[in-house]
Chains A and B, each alone.
Chain A
Amino acid sequence: EIVLTQSPGTLSLSPGERATLSCRASESVFSYLAWYQQKPGQAPRLLIYGASNRATGVPDRFSGSGSGTDFTLTISRLEPEDFAVYYCQQFGSSPLYSFGQGTHLEIK
């Protein structure tokens, strides 16, 4: 069973700073890796798919990279609305779809 491990669990930064979030898979997921943003009381929002493709309407300060087992979501300059929980999600291995436990990005 593939396990996705996100780090750090909590990231405390200030607006304007750069955020780097990590997602590590226990075995290769190739490029079948997506990132989602979730704010309290809301459904997740797709940010990145295929490891590095921005979803429609996602600002270009969000970027994704990586392949195989190591992936990164970078937010180049944090805006106040970016503080949320971020999840990575893999496709294709048992289980067919699974998520990391999330990184909570909080205002410092």
Chain B
Amino acid sequence: QVQLVHSGTEVRKPGASVKVSCMASGNIFTGHYIHWLRQAPGQGLEWMGWINPNTVVTNYAQKFQGRVTMTTDRSLTTAYMELTGLRSDDTAVYYCARGAGYSSEHFDYWGQGTLVTVSS
């Protein structure tokens, strides 16, 4: 069974950084991009970027460029997303998701999400 398991809830002060992890069961990341998305409380979904775990190439949404770094471990079972310069409007649930389709057009498996709260 495909599972993506996130690290736990985080609380940070404005200006700090946070690093969220997403661990996959088996080798489900092989051959797929890993995406990160977020959802602010009561709001819709926002795509942040993807990482190709095989080439370590990344593609970040323009909004997050310079603040986000996506990585994976060498076993390709855990993905990480680090966001720096946190602001209150970064408070959200952060999800990893596996990209699917020839060009990774949609997201077929999602982690349960990590709540990141930014508050002074």
User: Which residues of A does B touch, CB under 8 Å?
Assistant: 32, 34, 36, 42-46, 49-50, 55-56, 87, 89, 91-92, 95-102
**Given A87-B45, A95-B61: A45 and B106 within 8 A (CB)?**
no
Q: How far is the CB of A62 from chain B (nearest CB, A)?
A: 15
- Interface pair B105/A34, CB less than 8 Å apart: yes
Interface size class of B (residues with CB under 8 A): 20 to 34
Chain A residue nearest in CB terms to B112: A43
* Chain A interface mostly: loop
Binds A, one of B10-18, B77-85, B95-103: B95-103
Given contacts A43-B113, A101-B44, 10 further A-B contacts (CB under 8 A): A32-B105, A42-B112, A43-B97, A44-B95, A49-B105, A49-B108, A87-B44, A91-B101, A96-B59, A99-B44
- Interface pair B101/A50, CB less than 8 Å apart: yes
- Interface pair A46/B111, CB less than 8 Å apart: no
**In the complex, what residues of B have CB within 8 A of residue A45's CB?**
110
B62 interface residue per 8 A CB criterion: yes
**In the complex, what residues of B have CB within 8 A of residue A46's CB?**
100, 106-109
- Interface pair B101/A44, CB less than 8 Å apart: no
**In the complex, what residues of B have CB within 8 A of residue A43's CB?**
95, 97, 110-113
- Interface pair A96/B108, CB less than 8 Å apart: no
Chain A residue nearest in CB terms to B62: A95
Q: How far is the CB of A89 from chain B (nearest CB, A)?
A: 7
**In the complex, what residues of B have CB within 8 A of residue A89's CB?**
45, 106-107
Give Cα A97 to B107, complex, Å: 10
Q: How far is the CB of B56 from chain A (nearest CB, A)?
A: 19
Enumerate B7-50 residues with CB–CB distance to A below 8 Å: 35, 44-47
- Interface pair A91/B45, CB less than 8 Å apart: no
**In the complex, what residues of B have CB within 8 A of residue A92's CB?**
103, 105
- Interface pair A91/B95, CB less than 8 Å apart: no
